Amino acid sequence: VEGTTELQKPSAPTGLVANINNLKTDYTIAFANVATATSYKFYLDGTYKKDITNGGIVTIEELGLEAGKTYKFGVSAVNAAGDEIAWIKSL
């Protein structure tokens, strides 16, 4: 169809950070919103864990995190054309 543009997959979120609360029970995951994304997915060490929103909470209990270990987490921006993930080692 003339005049239509093919939907492109969104770019990866930028500014990805995780801040732990004072009780050390959960992390707030924050990132820059991606204009073309319809949802976001949270990953831990390469495994999808749950859908998440900007400023979303993940608990240490639900992730099964162990003290003293370093984990790689990521957030992907998703739309009907696919997704693109950003990774950071921080948890």
Please give the Cα distance from 74 to 29 (Å, whole number): 10
What pLDDT is recorded for position 82?
A: 94
- Write out pLDDT tens, residues 10-42: 999 999 999 999 988 999 999 999 999 999 999
Predicted TM-score (pTM) of this structure: 0.86
What is the arithmetic mean of pLDDT over 44-59? 94
What pLDDT is recorded for position 41?
A: 96
Please give the Cα distance from 34 to 40 (Å, whole number): 9
Q: Locate 82 and state its tokens.
A: 């696919």
C-alpha torsion sign, points 89, 87, 21, 64 = negative
Please give the Cα distance from 33 to 65 (Å, whole number): 26
Cβ(45)–Cβ(58) under 8 Å? no
pLDDT averaged over the chain? 90
